[in-house]
A and B are shown apart, each in its own frame.
Chain A
Amino acid sequence: MDKIIVGLKRVVDYNVRVQVRSDGSGVETDGVKMSINPFDEIALEEALRIREAGNANEVIAVSIGSADAQQQLRTGLAMGADRAILVAVDQDLDPLSVARVFQAIAAKENAGLVMLGKQAIDGDNSQVAQMLAALWDRPQATFASGVSIEGDTARVVREVDAGLETIEVDLPAVISVDLRLNEPRYVKLPDIMKAKKKPLDEIALSDLGVEAAPKVRELSYAPPAARQRGIMVDDVAGLVAALKDKGLV
């Protein structure tokens, strides 16, 4: 195949303990560390490995977001993506509109594969890959923990509730990746320097002719019901007694 498109979303870093603003208007993101969505980083790593194995020519990193997302794209370029595209939007796009953007880019680039994270750890929607596959009328292989390219097909192992499912899909296809697929490489300093010279194009949503979809509106935010710290027991006998007390054993 010629090209692989990888989505890189800028999200609050997974180590940050996210706080809801006291007025319920959203989640505190000011001054918070931002990173590539961890699942997306794995998608990029897999795309790079496919290219390195000679099964693709080019890896294109795409982010949809504010100008700040250039940082994440630069990191992607430093990891090894050949070029990057920033689709500039000034507000959060809904999953269906994001899928439409990827469809437009996949068509324009004549992509052989689109690789995305199985979910973004901010909205936790887990929708874009499946939606893109539907719009594009192509196969989807979600929650991938193993990918092998065999000519015009891909064999994908999927992490499903019942265990590990294997499917075979014709290319082009959409793959959404799970955490166990690989361990992303570390970026080295010379790669960061090199990445500065790689092309990063910015395009507007309107250039792609994408229409925004009817939105699910977010009305208000609240912290989850907190669990209280309970009692500490001294030994196993104390534990058994406490469980019996609650009628649990």
Chain B
Amino acid sequence: MARILIVAEHDGSDLNPSTAKCVSCAAAIDGAEIDVVVLAANVADIAAKAAEIAGIARVLTVERAENENAVAAILAPQVAALAGDYAYVFGPSTTFGRDLMPRVAALLGVNQVSDIMSVEGSHTFKRPIYAGNAIVTVEAPPDTVLIATVRVASWPTAAAGGSAPVEAASADTELPVHTRYIGLESAASDRPDLQTAATVVAGGRAFGSEENFQLLYALADTLGAGVGASRAAVDAGYCANDMQVGQTGKIIAPDLYIAIGISGAIQHLTGIKDAGTIVAINKDEEAPIFEVADIGLAGDLNSAVPELTNALSK
């Protein structure tokens, strides 16, 4: 039996879909017995959602006022305290997990396996390096607890329909006061979440302005799509930071990705390698994005995008 603990990601009220993706990865380990831990100020709703993930044994909860926001320095000692009962502790490769899990690993005196793409054996995994230009097979030491992050774009969402028991756990550790959460500025949007949307449309530098990005939003709304962007578009201020796709943005795997006015730099392609179908619209026939696109259209976005929106809204 392999006891695995997954640290649930949430925003204080809703469970993040990354948690169910971690469950899929954990389930790929032979003999997995999977627990999910929810650390929050109010655990009930989040734990109830976690309990619905199929294939997990238990949901553990740690309810403390200090857990109101995800501050790694505060969560890490609690996770480390729970880790003693487990052979594996997993978190997602989202900014939440990337911030937290290495701190847990260091408290336990072990290295971490980052961004698990596939499970090859009890301690052997594949993971991307060099912005995804190489895939390395790694082996973690078998005699210590294994801390890892799961590359969420590589894993399906575990099914719902479970009803795991919810139990309060105690992680009575002293918590630091040296780190204080101030706030979150979020470009609230009603569009589907970039990381889980089935369809994503993304815009690059070629849009030229924030106003022109409206063309992209109109297309997205016609398709019910999430919206992404290249780093160049974000840096130019055409859209919010959290829309960036790529090595230093979000790694996504939608069924359909439509890249518009994006050249296809390696760092951008890293973020979309696992997309089902890639469509590219670019006025330069030689743009590298066409080397990876399943469907390419060489054309000017200023006419092509409204035309496409129009054609699809019929």
Residues on A facing B (Cβ under 8 Å): 12, 14, 17-20, 27, 94-96, 99, 118, 121-135, 137-143, 145, 155, 158-170, 173, 178-180, 213-225, 227-240, 242-243, 246, 248-249
Residues on B facing A (Cβ under 8 Å): 11, 71-73, 76, 94-96, 98-107, 109-115, 124, 128-141, 144, 176, 178-187, 195, 199, 223, 231, 234-235, 240-242, 247-248, 250, 255-256, 266-267, 273, 277-279, 281, 285, 290-299, 304, 307-308, 311-312
**Highest count of chain B CB atoms <10 Å: which of A18, A130, A137, A143:** A130
Q: Which residues of A contact B304 (CB under 8 A)?
A: 236
Q: Are A94 and B111 in contact (CB under 8 A)?
A: yes
How many angstroms between the C-alpha atoms of A32 and B101 in the bound complex?
33
Q: Which residues of A contact B281 (CB under 8 A)?
A: 239
* Contact flag A239-B297 (CB < 8 Å), given A124-B114, A131-B102, A219-B138: yes
Q: Are A95 and B111 in contact (CB under 8 A)?
A: yes
How many angstroms between the C-alpha atoms of A249 and B112 in the bound complex?
41
Question: Which of A134, A216, A220, A227 is in CB contact (< 8 Å) with B76?
Answer: A134
Q: Are A227 and B132 in contact (CB under 8 A)?
A: no
Shortest beta-carbon distance, B25 to chain A, in Å? Answer: 16
Q: Are B102 and A239 in contact (CB under 8 A)?
A: no
Main secondary structure of the interface of B (DSSP, over half): mixed
How many angstroms between the C-alpha atoms of A145 and B307 in the bound complex?
37
Q: Are A126 and B241 in contact (CB under 8 A)?
A: no
* Contact flag A163-B240 (CB < 8 Å), given A18-B134, A230-B296: yes
Question: Which of A14, A129, A229 is in CB contact (< 8 Å) with B291?
Answer: A229
Q: Are B112 and A125 in contact (CB under 8 A)?
A: yes
Q: Are A127 and B137 in contact (CB under 8 A)?
A: no
Q: Are B298 and A214 in contact (CB under 8 A)?
A: no
* Contact flag A121-B131 (CB < 8 Å), given A243-B279, A243-B295: yes
Sample (18) of A-B pairs whose CB atoms are under 8 Å apart: A14-B267, A17-B266, A94-B111, A130-B100, A130-B103, A142-B95, A143-B95, A145-B241, A161-B94, A161-B96, A162-B184, A163-B240, A169-B179, A213-B111, A217-B138, A222-B135, A222-B136, A224-B135
**Highest count of chain B CB atoms <10 Å: which of A17, A20, A160:** A160
Q: Which residues of A contact B130 (CB under 8 A)?
A: 12, 18, 27, 121-122, 124
